[in-house]
């Protein structure tokens, strides 16, 4: 499945490679942005994150692996397809471990590259959807009052209403009212649903 | 006649026979004994107990005696028969006698009195200075002038002087009695002089009234008979009142009318009505400085002349009451310059003179122009404060720097200053007066001078001139029997100096002690100086250096302070003896010696010729070469002993063509051909051949050269030749060739091994464009596929394929060039381009080592002549070394900077600058040694080969440590020159 509006970023210091790649990827119907160095990419205006980053491993200054690390630290999730002229095994292992989509050795096969790009776009699509869901959940969770958040934390950790009331030193009736509000505000159909949301939000204590 | 109790021990007889004695008992003073009348007359020196310090007294040569006493130096005038002067100590006057107890007095040839005192040392009295009478203030002496600057003087008949001062004071001095009356300022009142800054103008009218004026006061009338003052002040509502506070000049004309120059013009006083009539020289501009009248003067025609603050000279027409103004213009030399006018004077010839701040002007009546005199013409100062005229028609000018006497006929100035007895150097504005008997008065900062101009004479004393010192090379010459000076230089009749002493100085002096600093000198060394050298009193030394031996006469003339010259002066003959080598007897000796040498040389020559033939024969026989003589056809007639000994042949065997047996059979043909050619052309023979050594049968290389000998007609007579053993040289040459080849091989190995190190990088360099080719190729196909092929995009992709393909090809070409074994020719190279190619090859290597490569290429770098491959090899070595060196660096950027620049007009320099760990300074010279390496797997040849390459290019390669971590390696290489390329080609 092709997403015509996806943007593919190419970072390679070699003009031949960069222009060849650009033409190839455009011929496949995607939009392309090119950068001659990792710094240039890092300094680009942050309008819209690309769906895929084609990144040369060896570049003067900031290397491909450096950029990958920096993006991870900044929690910028862009699927990366690595290119290398040498194909050193330790580097490729490191890149794949850090979540690269593919690791291609120059000169690469056209089909391999396009397939990797497609996979990256798909990963990105999923990641974006996951992120959108997460944002929604966080928005809902933020709409809870402090007391409701407390109640939710207790409930998803498996405590009964009575236990929650004792823990928070409030009446059981009050717990029920808060719990109803939590379910409604969080759009949870069931307790299991709520627990799953709590997992995603990372608020379930290990009790 | 017996004079009882007369104590005197010195008697002077005067020209009429009177006897004069100095007595201290019974009277203290002079005693005269009139021999004709036989009478004693006493002239007591003073009142009270006055001791006379000396029993001596001094006749001044005229009519007086100088007597030293315990109350100062006294003068007795014999004609007047009274004591006329007494010089005494005055606390307030540093120029007075230092001590009243005078012990002795002496009059020198110049007329100066040298006065010895008991406690005040030696005092010098210059009576010349007394010719300008000097009146001044003395503290605690009520009969001296008021303190302050004298700003006005007026003498009325009868010897009464009126003196005005700044600050405002009025003094009346009765010159007969010496009594002074002081008038001090006070509020305007009939008994008071009135307030004001000063008193600058005084005039006594025919009615006996004294008129006074000054800054900041009105006009004041003083009646000496009643002692009452009348003050005329300005009344704004009365046009006929006195118009200003500053009467600058009060002037009485010949009809007795009183004129007042003031701030707003000229006022005329009607004595009857005491009303003023006021006129303005510049009526159009009432505030103009041209209206401030400073000077008023009436000429012999009765015309009134005015001088103003604004520098305008005005002629006032009394009939029409109008002014004719001569306005200033500093750019026009024939007009007034512009400074305030202080004085106007018409001389006896009718010429009008104007004095002002910018000089003295002569007014030329016929055309209304002015002639200006300033310091350039000899005035001591261009600021003229007053003009008076003496009976001889000379003008006496008061100035800011003394008094100047101007002779209009000769247009010369004679200047007098404080040292001549003037009150000081600065005289006051318009402060001058001339009494009816011709006595002149000029006032200034320290009092006033009164003098009769005809009495002012120059000091007539012609001073003796003496030579006072003699120095050789700035050292005083001692006097003695063995010295140049046998007595003091002042007394010697001449000097004889050796040529070594020809840097000498002579000091001299004119023995006139009156203002001796104004004495002048001129000297010359006859025989050397073309003219006189002028010198002042501070340069009484003449120095001469490097004079040639010979006879000279040193002459000095001197003048006294008034410019009276001793024309005769003093002269001193000086003989400088020549060094011995410039004497005549030495020259004669030289001739004799020369002749003797000539004769000896002739004898020697004859003997030499006799020995020569023998010697030559021996030389040829024993010379360390194989020598021979042959006929033109090659037939040998002579071989030397060397030939015989080397080949082992006998002379008979070698004669004719027998010698050919010694030639290596392989070379014989070549040798014969060479002989044949030279025999035909007559050109010199020159060939190399192997000759057999008789002792062991071995062949050694010889270099044979022979030249033809010709007779007078040019016909060849015989050949003379030598054969030199060049076996060793030949071997060395072969060795050198072998080494050169070895070096080339090593260099090649170095290149190839570096290629090996670079394999991965080179592969990458090829791989990158190939990658582009593949991508573009794929893209191109894609653009062309489908229903609507995008031809434009496809064309672009194809264009890039071509480009990238070429790029890959270029890399390979470079690698091949470097890997090639064959030498490349020297050519004109752009060093920047050569380096860029190397950097392209190592770019990936640098990248993989995280090295940032920078370059600074001089855009104007000269071209060089060189081998492209070799120079690239050098660069490759340096860059690879730098990358390698930086591989251990982790705590800072790895930076490599390549720079080119023109080192000077002949050299281009390349620097390779890394940020690696640097080189141990002790090792810095060793790194270029072969097999020196810091790399575990290095050969240690890279830098050594690089240095060899650069030496072959006549360049240099060296390394230097840096302040920051890292190393700089430099190499320099000569700039390309057109002529060189031709030579190389």
Instruction: Please answer yes or no on whether B769 and A26 come within 8 Å at the CB atom.
Output: no
Asked if the C-beta of B337 comes within 8 angstroms of chain A's C-beta atoms, the answer is no
Mean pLDDT for B409-415 is 93
The answer to whether the Cβ–Cβ distance between B774 and A20 falls below 8 Å is yes
User: Looking at the predicted structure, is the pLDDT value of residue B583 above 90?
Assistant: no
Tens of pLDDT, residue by residue over B893-943, are 888 999 999 888 888 999 999 888 888 777 777 777 777 777 666 666 778
CA–CA separation, B531 vs B733, rounded Å? 77
pLDDT, residue B441, reads 96
pLDDT digits (tens, 9 = 90+) for B282-339: 888 877 778 899 999 999 998 999 999 889 999 998 888 888 999 999 899 999 998 8
Q: Are B676 and B669 in contact (CB under 8 A)?
A: no
> Of A24, A58, A85, which has the smallest distance from its Cβ to B775's Cβ?
A24
B398 or A83, higher pLDDT: B398
Say how far apart CA B7 and CA A206 lie, in whole Å. Answer: 148
B798 touching A (Cβ < 8 Å) = no
The pLDDT of B820-827, averaged and rounded, is: 71
End-to-end CA distance of chain A: 43
Residue B293's SS3 state is strand
Higher-confidence position of B118 and B401: B401
Q: Do B782 and A59 touch (CB under 8 A)?
A: no
In chain B, what residues touch A21 (CB-CB under 8 Å)? Answer: 775
Which residues on A lie below 8 Å from B894 (Cβ)?
none
Phi, then psi, of B446 in degrees rounded to 5: -115, 15
Chain A: residue whose CA lies nearest to B765: A85
Residues in chain A: 207
Taking CB atoms and an 8 Å limit, are A58 and B782 in contact across chains? Answer: no
Residue-averaged pLDDT of chain B: 86
**B55 CB within 8 Å of a chain A CB:** no
Percent above pLDDT 70 for chain B: 96
DSSP letters for B115-172: EEESSS-EEEE-GGGGGSEEE---TT-TTSPPSSEEEEEEEETTTEEEEEEETTEEEE
Quote the pLDDT of residue B584: 84
Residue B985: pLDDT above 50? no
Mean pLDDT of B251-264: 89
Interface of B with A in 828-847 (CB under 8 A): 844, 846-847
Beta strands in B280-337 (DSSP E): 293-298, 304-308, 313-317, 322-326
Query: Comparing B927 with B521, which gets the higher pLDDT?
Result: B521
If one compares B937 and B502, the residue with the highest pLDDT of the two is B502
Q: Does B852 touch chain A (CB under 8 A)?
A: yes
The Cβ of residue B789 has, within 10 Å, a number of other Cβ atoms equal to 12
| Tokens (6 digits) for B532 | 């006189």
Position B383 pLDDT exceeds 90? yes
Q: Does B569 touch chain A (CB under 8 A)?
A: no
Quote the pLDDT of residue B4. 45
The pLDDT value recorded for residue B761 is 77
Is residue B661 within 8 Å of B640, Cβ to Cβ?
Answer: no
Predicted pLDDT at B25: 65
- Percent of chain B exceeding pLDDT 90 equals 28
Q: What is the mean pLDDT of residues B646-662?
A: 84
Strand partners, B758: none
Closest in A16, A23, A60 to B769, CB measured: A16
CA distance A10 to A28: 14
Flag whether residue B771 sits within 8 Å of chain A, measured between CB atoms.
yes
pLDDT exceeds cutoff 50 at B569: yes
Between B897 and A63, where is the model more confident? Answer: B897
Residues of chain B contacting A20 with CB distance shorter than 8 Å: 771-776, 779, 797, 800, 804
> How far, in Å, CA of B558 to CA of B560, rounded?
7
- Could you identify the residue written with the tokens 């690879």? B880
Rounded to the nearest angstrom, the gap between the alpha carbon of residue A180 and the centroid of all alpha carbons in its chain is 32
How many residues does this entry show for chain B? 985
**pLDDT grade, residue B2 (50/70/90)?**
very low
pLDDT band at B3 (very low <50, low <70, confident <90, very high): very low
Interface of A with B (CB under 8 A): 13-17, 19-21, 23-24, 26-28, 58-61, 63, 85-86, 106-108, 110
B200, B248 Cβ separation under 8 angstroms: yes
State whether residue B848 sits within 8 Å of chain A by CB.
yes
Q: What confidence tens digit (pLDDT) does each residue in B771-808 have?
A: 899 999 999 998 998 788 888 989 999 999 999 999 88
Tokens of B984: 């190389």
Asked whether the beta carbons of residue A58 and residue B844 sit closer than 8 angstroms, the reply is: yes
Angle between helices A172-185 and A146-156 in degrees, nearest 10: 90
**B851 beta partners:** B894
Higher pLDDT, B51 or B819: B819
CA–CA min distance A118, chain B (Å): 16
Kindly determine whether residue A63 and residue B850, on different chains, have CB atoms separated by under 8 Å: yes
> Predicted confidence band at B386 (pLDDT cuts at 50, 70, 90)?
very high
Q: Do A60 and B767 touch (CB under 8 A)?
A: no
Q: What is the DSSP letter of B7?
A: -
Other Cβ atoms within 10 Å of B200 Cβ, number: 26
B165: pLDDT strictly greater than 90: yes
**Farthest-apart Cα atoms in chain B, separation:** 172
- Count residue pairs from A and B with Cβ separation < 8 A: 90
User: Coil, strand or helix: which one is B602?
Assistant: helix
Picking from B760, B778, B804, the nearest residue to A24 by CB comes out as B778
Confidence of residue B561 (pLDDT cuts 50, 70, 90): confident
For residues B458 and B563, is the Cβ–Cβ distance under 8 A?
Answer: yes
How far apart are the C-alpha atoms of B308 and B291, rounded to whole Å? 6
Q: Give the model confidence (pLDDT) of B393-408 as tens digits.
A: 999 999 999 999 999 9
In chain A, which residues have their Cβ closer than 8 Å to the Cβ of B803?
A: 16
Write out pLDDT tens, residues B218-236: 899 999 889 899 988 877 7
Q: Which among B768, B782, B848 is the nearest to A16, CB-wise? A: B768
Where is pLDDT greater, at B795 or B765? Answer: B795
List of E strands, B578-640: 626-630, 636-639
Task: Kindly list the residues from chain B whose CB atom is less than 8 angstroms away from the CB atom of residue A107.
Answer: 767, 770-771, 773-775
Strands (E), B598-677: 626-630, 636-639
Does B769 contact A at CB distance below 8 Å? yes
**Contact criterion met (CB < 8 Å) for B768 and A108:** no
Mean pLDDT, to the nearest integer, of B666-694?
86
Under 8 Å between Cβ of A54 and A81: yes
Nearest CA in chain B to A86: B764
* Minimum-distance CB partner of A58 among B783, B803, B848: B848
CB B476 within 8 A of CB B469: yes
The complex scores an ipTM of 0.76
Pick from A20, A21, A85: which is nearest to B764 by CB?
A85
Closest residue on chain A to B786 (Cα)? A27
Q: How confident is the model at residue B192 (pLDDT cuts 50, 70, 90)?
A: confident
Q: Please answer yes or no on whether A58 and B800 come within 8 Å at the CB atom.
A: no
Distance, in Å, from the CA atom of A111 to the CA atom of A122, rounded to the nearest integer, reads 16
A108 and B774: CB-CB below 8 Å? yes
d(CA B49, CA B223): 46
DSSP3 helix / strand / coil % (chain A, rounded to 5): 55, 10, 35
Half-sphere CA count of B330, side-chain side, radius 13 A: 8
Q: What is the pLDDT of residue B982?
A: 47
CA distance A187 to chain B (A): 49
Query: Looking at the partner chain, which of B764, B769, B779 has a beta carbon nearest the beta carbon of A27?
Result: B779
Q: What percent of chain A has pLDDT over 90?
A: 6
pLDDT of residue B983: 45
d(Cα B915, Cα B923) in Å, to the nearest integer?
A: 18
Is there a contact between B973 and B906 (Cβ–Cβ < 8 Å)? no
Are B778 and A106 an interchain contact pair (Cβ–Cβ within 8 Å)?
no
Q: What is the pLDDT of residue B938?
A: 63
Q: Do the Cβ atoms of A24 and B783 come within 8 Å?
A: no
Structure tokens given for B92: 């307030």
Q: Do A110 and B775 touch (CB under 8 A)?
A: yes
């Amino acid at each position: 499945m092709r997403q015509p509006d996806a943007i593919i970023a190419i970072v390679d210091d070699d003009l031949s490679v960069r222009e060849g790649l650009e033409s190839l990827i455009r011929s496949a119907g995607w939009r392309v942005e090119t950068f001659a160095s990792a710094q240039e990419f890092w300094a680009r205006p942050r309008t819209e994150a690309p769906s895929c980053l084609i990144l040369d491993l060896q570049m003067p200054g900031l290397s491909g692996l450096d950029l990958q690390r920096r993006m991870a630290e900044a929690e910028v999730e862009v699927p990366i397809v690595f290119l290398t002229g040498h194909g050193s095994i330790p580097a490729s292992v490191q890149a794949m471990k850090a979540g690269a989509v593919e690791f291609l050795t120059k000169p690469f096969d056209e089909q391999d590259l396009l397939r990797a790009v497609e996979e990256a776009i798909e990963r990105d699509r999923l990641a974006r959807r996951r992120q959108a869901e997460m944002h929604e959940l966080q928005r809902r969770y933020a709409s809870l009052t402090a007391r409701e958040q407390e109640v939710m934390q207790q409930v998803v950790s498996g405590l009964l209403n009575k236990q929650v009331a004792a823990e928070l030193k409030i009446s059981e009736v009050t717990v029920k009212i808060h719990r109803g509000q939590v379910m409604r505000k969080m759009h949870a159909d069931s307790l299991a649903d709520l627990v799953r949301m709590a997992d995603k939000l990372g608020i379930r204590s290990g009790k | 006649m017996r004079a009882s109790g007369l104590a005197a021990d010195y008697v002077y007889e005067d020209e009429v026979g009177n006897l004069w004695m100095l007595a201290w008992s019974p009277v203290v003073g002079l005693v005269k004994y009139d021999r004709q009348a036989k009478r004693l007359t006493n002239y007591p020196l003073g009142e009270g107990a006055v001791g006379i310090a000396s029993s001596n007294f001094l006749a001044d040569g005229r009519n007086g005696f100088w007597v030293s006493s315990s109350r100062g130096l006294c003068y007795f005038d014999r004609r007047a028969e009274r004591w006329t002067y007494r010089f005494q100590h005055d606390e307030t006057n540093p120029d007075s006698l230092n001590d009243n107890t005078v012990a002795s007095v002496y009059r020198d040839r110049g007329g100066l009195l040298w006065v010895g005192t008991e406690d005040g040392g030696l005092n010098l009295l210059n009576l010349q200075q007394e010719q300008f009478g000097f009146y001044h203030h003395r503290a605690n002496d009520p009969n001296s002038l008021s303190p302050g600057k004298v700003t006005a003087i007026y003498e009325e008949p009868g010897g009464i002087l009126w003196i005005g001062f700044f600050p405002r004071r009025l003094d009346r001095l009765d010159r007969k009695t010496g009594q002074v009356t002081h008038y001090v300022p006070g509020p305007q009142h009939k008994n008071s002089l009135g307030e004001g800054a000063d008193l600058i103008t005084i005039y006594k009218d025919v009615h006996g009234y004294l008129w006074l004026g000054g800054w900041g006061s009105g006009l004041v009338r003083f009646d000496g008979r009643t002692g009452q003052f009348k003050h005329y002040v300005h009344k704004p509502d009365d046009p006929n009142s006195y118009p200003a506070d500053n009467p600058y000049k009060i002037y009485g004309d010949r009809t007795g009318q009183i004129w007042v120059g003031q701030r707003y013009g000229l006022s005329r006083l009607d004595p009857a009505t005491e009303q003023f009539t006021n006129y303005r020289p510049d009526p159009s501009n009432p505030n103009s400085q041209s209206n401030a009248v400073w000077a008023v003067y009436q000429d012999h025609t009765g015309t009134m002349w005015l001088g103003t603050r604004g520098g305008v000279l005005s002629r006032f027409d009394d009939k029409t009451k109008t002014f004719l103004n001569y306005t200033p213009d500093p750019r026009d030399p024939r007009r007034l310059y512009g400074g305030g006018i202080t004085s106007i004077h018409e001389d006896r010839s009718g010429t009008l003179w104007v004095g002002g701040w910018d000089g003295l002007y002569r007014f030329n009546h016929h055309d209304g122009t002015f002639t200006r005199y300033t310091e350039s013409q000899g005035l001591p100062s261009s600021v003229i404060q007053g003009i008076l005229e003496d009976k001889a028609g000379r003008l006496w000018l008061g100035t800011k720097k003394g008094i100047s006497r101007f002779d209009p006929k000769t247009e010369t100035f004679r200047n007098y200053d404080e040292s001549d007895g003037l009150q000081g150097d600065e005289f006051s504005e318009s402060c001058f007066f001339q009494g009816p008997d011709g006595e002149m008065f000029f006032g200034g900062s320290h009092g006033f001078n009164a003098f009769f101009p005809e009495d002012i004479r120059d000091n007539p004393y012609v001073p003796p001139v003496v030579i006072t010192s003699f120095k050789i090379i700035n050292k005083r010459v001692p006097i003695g029997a063995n010295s140049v000076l046998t007595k003091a230089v002042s007394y010697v009749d001449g000097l004889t100096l050796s040529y070594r002493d020809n840097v000498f100085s002579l000091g001299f002096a004119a023995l006139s002690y009156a203002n001796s600093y104004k004495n002048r000198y001129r000297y010359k060394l006859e025989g050397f100086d073309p003219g006189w050298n002028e010198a002042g009193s501070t340069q009484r030394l003449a120095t001469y250096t490097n004079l040639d031996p010979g006879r000279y006469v040193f002459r000095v003339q001197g003048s006294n302070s008034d410019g009276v010259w001793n024309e005769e002066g003093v002269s001193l003959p000086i003989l400088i003896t020549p060094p011995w080598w410039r004497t005549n007897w030495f020259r004669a000796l030289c001739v004799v010696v020369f002749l003797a040498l000539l004769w000896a040389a002739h004898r020697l020559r004859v003997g030499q010729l006799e020995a020569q033939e023998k010697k030559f024969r021996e030389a040829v026989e024993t010379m360390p070469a194989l020598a021979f003589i042959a006929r033109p056809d090659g037939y040998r007639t002579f071989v030397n002993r060397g030939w015989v000994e080397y080949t082992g042949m006998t002379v008979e065997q070698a004669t004719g063509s027998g010698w050919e047996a010694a030639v290596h059979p392989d070379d014989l043909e070549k040798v014969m051909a060479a002989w044949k050619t030279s025999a035909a052309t007559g050109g010199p023979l020159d060939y190399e051949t192997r000759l057999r050594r008789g002792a062991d049968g071995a062949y050694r290389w010889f270099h044979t050269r022979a030249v033809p000998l010709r007779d007078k007609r040019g016909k060849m007579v015989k050949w003379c030749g030598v054969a030199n053993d060049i076996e060793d040289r030949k071997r060395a040459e072969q060795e050198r060739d072998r080494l050169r080849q070895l070096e080339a091989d090593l260099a090649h190995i170095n290149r190839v091994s570096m290629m090996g190190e670079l394999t991965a990088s080179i592969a990458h360099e090829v791989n990158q464009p190939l990658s582009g080719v593949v991508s573009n190729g794929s893209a191109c196909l894609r653009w062309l596929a489908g229903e609507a092929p995008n031809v434009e995009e496809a064309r672009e992709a194809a264009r890039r394929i071509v480009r990238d393909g070429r790029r890959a090809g270029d890399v390979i070409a470079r690698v091949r060039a470097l890997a090639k074994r064959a030498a490349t020719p020297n050519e004109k190279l752009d060093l920047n381009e050569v380096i860029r190619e190397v950097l392209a090859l190592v770019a990936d290597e640098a990248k993989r080592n995280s090295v940032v490569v920078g370059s600074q290429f001089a855009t104007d770098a000269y071209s060089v002549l060189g081998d492209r491959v070799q120079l690239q090899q050098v660069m490759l070595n340096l860059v690879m070394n730098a990358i390698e060196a930086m591989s251990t660096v982790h705590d800072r950027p790895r930076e490599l900077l390549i720079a080119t620049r023109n080192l000077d007009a002949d050299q281009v320099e390349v620097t390779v600058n890394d940020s690696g760990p640097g080189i141990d300074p002790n090792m810095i010279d060793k790194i270029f040694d072969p097999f020196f390496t810091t790399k575990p797997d290095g050969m240690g040849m890279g830098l050594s080969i690089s240095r060899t390459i650069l030496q072959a290019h006549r360049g240099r390669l060296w390394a230097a440590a840096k302040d920051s971590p890292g190393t700089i390696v430099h190499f320099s290489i000569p700039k390309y020159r057109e002529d060189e390329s031709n030579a190389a080609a």
